[in-house]
Amino acid sequence: MVTEAPLVATAAAKGTSAGISAGVGSTLSAFGTGIKIFALAHPVSLVATGGVLLGLGGYHAVSRWRKKHAEEEVAEEEAAAPAAA
DSSP states of 6-72: PHHHHHHHHT-HHHHHHHHHHHHHTS-HHHHHHHHHHHHHHHHHHHHHHHHHHHHHHHHHHHHHHHH
The better pLDDT of the pair 12, 67 is held by 67
What pLDDT is recorded for position 24? 54
Is there a contact between 10 and 22 (Cβ–Cβ < 8 Å)? no
What pLDDT is recorded for position 52? 96
- Start-to-end CA distance of the chain, whole Å, equals 108
What pLDDT is recorded for position 64? 95
Taking the model in full, what pTM does it have?
0.46
The better pLDDT of the pair 57, 20 is held by 57
pLDDT-above-70 percentage for the chain:
60
Distance of CA 29 to the CA centre of its chain: 26
Banded pLDDT at 22 (limits 50, 70, 90): low
